[in-house]
Structure 1
């Protein structure tokens, strides 16, 4: 875990697993990536302009060998290509689906007075959703920015295909009003402007 001195702010952006590792996975497709990158970069830039700290979360697991894209030996534990450079308030590595498990993130958030989290990253229905549920149960308010999350088609146990769009809709359905508010980039930045006093 690495950190910089960060002013207290009631909101933090969690950028989850936006790392090059995923481009080495067989299910990777560029279909939705450009729109996701555009939305994510706009969210990061907007948060930075409002003084909102950005927490960068990387996922690592498995053997530390070059053929494992989630190992340091692969060289892929780095920001995904196309992600705009930004200053991180905190950088952590997780080994579970929730960014709050075994990372010290919860302590850091409490120390910095964070009450609301903005969630973005990869994958929509896995680490982003799991972190959202966990954070909500721990007492944080969560804004889930679906357009700034990325996922891929999956096979159901019955052998049917759920498209990335269907997975995003399913995640919004199960989170909305229970674990998070579903917001667009524009909506979350407009709300953040009120908290920070930045237009």
Structure 2
């Protein structure tokens, strides 16, 4: 009767253990991916209904405002693209978005977290302009279209001067990045 040397048996046993551990790892990765997919599918778009919006004058840089959006809902929400802003009640078109401020990913706000957008109000290079007392804010959906109701905010200091170069950044996860543009 011929028997296999012990080293062959040990090699086979360790191969079985490695294969079992690999299978457990694949199953764990699949469960993690499934959980992440379920969480992502339950996240809604941020709207004026689930956010508290505030606008304040920025200390630096000059001619800038900071728009802050805080999630007041019970679910996480996505702050897509940039806000649609209208300076003044008579504004016909939304401010231009600063494309160079596009973040690497969509800003996700858990309940209580905030996103920020920087607003350049004017530049000497711009044309025309007027002092406006209000700022109309609408948010974007996944496709970049405006969603929900516009919210009107009072601008600081009784009014802010805007001219043709007024732009807004994409949503950022911190104020410093929003004001860097």
Into which bin does the TM-score normalised by the smaller protein fall?
Answer: under 0.3
- TM score, norm. by length of structure 2: 0.25
- Structure number having the greater helix percentage: 1
Structure (1 or 2) with the larger CA radius of gyration: 2
